[in-house]
Structure 1
C-alpha cells in the first residue's frame, strides 16, 4: 500500500485542508533553477518564495496557513524542502529584488506593486524529511503546470525516502545528455568529473536539429570548454558564431585517455566529424 504525504501531515496534527503544496519549478532563468537556489542559498530561496503574484486569482491559490514546499532537482522529480507557516503581510516593499531572477518585484516607489509579501516561517514539523522525501506530483502536462495545489484534493504518493540528502548520481559519460544552460547547476561532483576529463563532445541544437562536434583538451577539460559556450553562445567556433544562439544539448562522444596529447584528441575529433558527417550536414566548418 502506497504511503501518502497527507498521512505525514496527519501525524503532525495538521489538517491537509490548511496546506498548500508549492512545487517551485520555473525554468525562466537560464543556468539556474529553484532547486539550485535552495541547494546553494537557502535564505535566498526563502526570500524568493515569500513574494507571490497579487492578482486576485493568483492570490487565492495561497490562502492557507501552511505551505509545503517542493523543488525539482531533475525533470519529473519532486523533492520536499520544508513546511512553512505563511501569512500575507501586504505589498512587497518598493525596490525589493528577487534573489532568483535578479529583477525588481517591489516596483518603484509610489507605484502599485504586482507582488504580495508573505511572512514564511520554516516549521519544525516534517523537518526530518527535508531534502530526503520525494513525491509523485503527477504525469499530465496540466499537473506539471499547476505548481500550487491543495493538499486535501491532491494526496501525493511518496515515491522515495533517502537516508540523507544526496545529489543525483553522475550518469556516466555515455549517458550524460544535458542542456548547456544546466552546466552551472550540475552537482559539484559532476563538475569535478567533467573538469578532470578530456575528449570529444557533441552539441545538438533542439531547434534546428543540427549538430556540432568539438574537442576539449584544455586545463579544465569538458567543463571549461562547455562554460565558454555558456559565456559567449558560440565558444569561438565559426559555424556557431554566425547563427542564432541556442541552448544546445551537450553529450560526450569519447573520453580521451590520461596520456593522450592535444594532437591525439584533435585526431579523435576529426574521426567523429567524418562518422557523423558534421562538415556536410552539421555545423562544423573545418
Structure 2
C-alpha cells in the first residue's frame, strides 16, 4: 500500500496539482463521518456550497473529501469532480446542520463522485497533521496513510452511563449504539446549554431511550409543555439510571419521581409535574 495519499492519487492517474484536500468539519456536528454515513445526500449538498472568497482555491477541478470520525481520525470519503455552478437560492439552509446559508457570501458547485479510489471510501485513514485548523489544503501536500480498514468501523458502545450527546447527534449515532439504546429503558436528563435548566424524563416505551430521544431531535420538545414554551435548543442528553429488564412502568415512574426530587427539576428546572 502506498505510504501517502499523494502517491495514491498518482497511482490512480490523477494529478495532485489539480486536487483539493478538504477536511469537512460541519459546525455543531459531533460525528461528521457518522452523519455522512447516515445521509450521503445531505453531506454532498453541504459540500457543494463554498465561500466566494475561496473561489480561487476551489478552482481546482478535483476535491478529495475527508471527514473527522467520532474518535478524531481523518477518514477518506471520495474524490469529487467539482464545477462552479452559480449562486445559492435565497432562503436556503444546510441540509446537514439546518443552519441558514448566507447566500450572498457563497457559491454553489456541481459535485460528482468519481470512481478513482472508490475502493478506499470509508476505509482509508490519513494523518491530517498539525494543520488541522486549515481544513482546505493542496493535493500536493503529503498526507501519511495511517491505516486501511477492512470496512467502515463504528465506535464501540461506551455503556449507558457514558453516553452524553447533543440531541442533534441522535439521528446519526452509530447503528450499534442505536441497538443498545433501543433495548435500554430508564431515566434520562436533558440540559439546556443556553439557560442551564434541566429536565428529567423517563424512557419506558418499546423503542427505549432511542425512541424517546429521537422524538426530541425531530420536533425539539418531545411533547413536553415546558419545553414547548422555550425557544428550540440543542439539549445535551445523558442517562441517569437504567431500569432492569423486568422493571414495570410503575417502577420506572417511581425512579423518575425520585430523580426529579434529587435534582429539584420541578422547582428549578423544566419539569412541570
In the TM superposition, 1:1-286 aligns within 5 A as: 3-12=3-12, 14-27=14-27, 35=33, 38-40=36-38, 42=40, 45-46=43-44, 49=47, 51-53=48-50, 55=52, 57-74=53-70, 76-84=72-80, 86-88=81-83, 90-91=85-86, 100=95, 115-118=107-110, 120-124=112-116, 126-137=117-128, 143-144=132-133, 146-153=134-141, 155-286=142-273
Q: SS at the partner of 2:209?
A: helix
- Relative to the length of structure 2, the TM-score reads 0.79
Q: Contact between 2:63 and 2:82, CA under 8 Å: does it hold in 1?
A: no
Q: Distance in 2 between matches of 1:280 and 1:139?
A: 48
Q: Distance in 1 between matches of 2:200 and 2:100?
A: 40
Instruction: Report how many aligned residue pairs link the two structures.
Output: 268
Deviations 1:254-273 (A, max 9, x none): 11111100111111122223
Q: How far did residue 250 of structure 1 move?
A: 0.6
Structure 2: 5+ residue runs without aligned partners? none
Q: Distance in 2 between matches of 1:182 and 1:54?
A: 25
- Relative to the length of structure 1, the TM-score reads 0.76
Q: Assess, with a 3 A threshold, how the Cα gap between structure 1 residues 93 and 271 changes in structure 2: closer, same or farther.
A: closer
Structure 1: 5+ residue runs without aligned partners? none
Q: Distance in 2 between matches of 1:93 and 1:265?
A: 50
Q: How far did residue 219 of structure 1 move?
A: 2.1
Deviations 1:154-211 (A, max 9, x none): x334344321112232222121111111111123332232122210111112223322
Q: Contact between 2:32 and 2:70, CA under 8 Å: does it hold in 1?
A: no
